[in-house]
């Protein structure tokens, strides 16, 4: 990776986002850590820097259009480029059938899981187009390929994110910008607000970071559209 490369990771404060951020830093990128929780970002930035990497944190509410627009302007002025964008932030809101879900919960889920990636792409894709290079990676889920009982809204958001990814890839490929989606199964994170059972049997956040690193190392004449990843054993 170019020594001046800039990577932006949303939902960077823990789990997959933190693992991806550490991996991009080890690849040599200046990593911009984006999430709501400043304290967690500060801890991660300190860890990355203690390992010889470079990180800057941005406490941003990804449901707020103006905050994402301001982030894009700051990145343009400060760095003038964005080489990698990993849209990882997401929420679940699972456990009940769709007809029992409150509209406010639906709106919050879609704002985080689908609208935020759109706004991040809107803010940062122009920097990639100007340089005729870049890579956007959207973190989806196997729930975006399969029915999910008592998780219809979450599943819908990930089906939609997949469709967004494939279509944006077609829009940007002529500019040398690659767009990929990673769809994991059960990951060992506290996603959803609780610690997972059978943690050792689950996909680890570092497994997703490995895939992101692989995508970054693709030769320029090709790109991987989607990666599906499952635990070796059912957790």
Say which DSSP state 105 is in.
H
Residues 35-56 have pLDDT tens digits of 999 999 999 999 999 999 999 9
Q: Which fold does the domain 6-229 belong to in CATH?
A: Rossmann fold (3.40.50)
Residues 139-182 have pLDDT tens digits of 999 999 988 999 999 999 999 999 999 999 999 999 999 999 99
Indicate whether 188 pLDDT > 70: no
Whether 79 is a known active-site residue: answer no
HSE (side-chain half, CA atoms, 13 Å) at 175: 20
Sorted by where each begins, the domain ranges of the chain are 6-229
Higher pLDDT, 196 or 17: 17
Please tell me the least confidently modeled range out of 151-155, 158-162, 193-197, 225-229: 193-197
Active-site residue among 118, 154, 166, 175?
A: 154
| Burial (CB count within 10 angstroms: exposed 0-12, middle 13-18, buried 19+), residue 227 | middle
């Amino acid at each position: 990776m170019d020594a001046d490369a800039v990577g932006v990771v949303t939902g960077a404060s823990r789990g997959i986002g933190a693992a991806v951020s550490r991996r991009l830093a080890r690849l040599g990128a200046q990593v911009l850590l984006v999430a709501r929780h400043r304290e967690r970002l500060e801890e991660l930035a300190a860890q990355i820097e203690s390992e010889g990497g470079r990180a800057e944190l941005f406490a941003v509410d990804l449901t707020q259009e103006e905050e994402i627009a301001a982030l894009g302007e700051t990145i343009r002025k400060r760095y003038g480029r964005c080489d990698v964008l990993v849209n990882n932030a997401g929420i679940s809101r699972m456990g009940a059938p769709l007809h029992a879900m409150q509209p406010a919960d639906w709106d919050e889920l879609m704002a985080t899981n689908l609208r935020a990636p759109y706004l991040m792409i809107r803010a940062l894709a122009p920097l990639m187009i100007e340089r005729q290079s870049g890579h956007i990676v959207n973190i989806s889920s196997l729930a975006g390929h399969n029915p999910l009982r008592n998780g219809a809204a979450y599943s819908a958001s990930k089906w939609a994110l997949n469709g967004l990814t494939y279509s944006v890839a077609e829009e940007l490929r002529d500019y040398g910008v690659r767009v990929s989606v990673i769809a994991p199964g059960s990951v060992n994170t506290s996603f959803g607000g609780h610690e997972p059972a059978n943690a050792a049997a689950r996909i680890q956040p570092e497994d997703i970071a490995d895939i992101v690193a692989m995508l970054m190392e693709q030769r320029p004449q090709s790109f991987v559209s989607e990666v599906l990843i499952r635990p070796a054993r059912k957790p």
